[in-house]
Amino acid sequence: MTYYELLSNLKKIALRQANVNFAGSKDLYELNSLPDIDYNVFYITPNEFRLNEDTIEYSLNLFFISRWDETQENQNMIHSEGITVLNNIINTFDKEYPEAALLRPGLFRVFYQRFKDVCAGVYLTITFELPLNGLCVEEYE
């Protein structure tokens, strides 16, 4: 599985969640430029990638972002829902793509942030270890 396929597969699984309406990856602040964004959002940002002899490790941040009404109750509900959704996504991914080992533990962090909208959410930093077999570099002349 390539990096592109990893991201695509995670987004497909996220969009199958009943409470995820948008999935994306790139720059998280891209959300500011989407005026009609439909929360709840699943978003992926990269961390470090590590090349080993037979594997490659992709460390990713997986975000769950929702609208925050700036009350403590709403914030806690968003955080709780986000942890559940992200856990569902990685567990589903683990079952559907056993060739991609999840290096646990992952680390959850909660946040509240102003993008264009006032948001709250949670992100999970987790590493996916994939075999290098099947990945090759094509030679160009």
**pLDDT of residue 49 exceeding 70:** yes
Q: Are 10 and 62 in contact (CB under 8 A)?
A: yes
**pLDDT of residue 9 exceeding 70:** yes
**pLDDT of residue 138 exceeding 80:** no
Across the range 18-28, mean pLDDT stands at 91
Across the range 115-139, mean pLDDT stands at 79
DSSP character at residue 117: S
Instruction: Enter the pTM of the model.
Output: 0.87
Separation of alpha carbons 12 and 34, rounded Å = 20
Query: What are the structural domain ranges in the chain?
Result: 3-131
- The tokens for 114 are 């102003």
CATH topology of domain 3-131: Alpha-Beta Plaits (3.30.70)
Q: How high is the mean pLDDT of the chain? A: 88
Comparing 29 with 56, which gets the higher pLDDT?
56
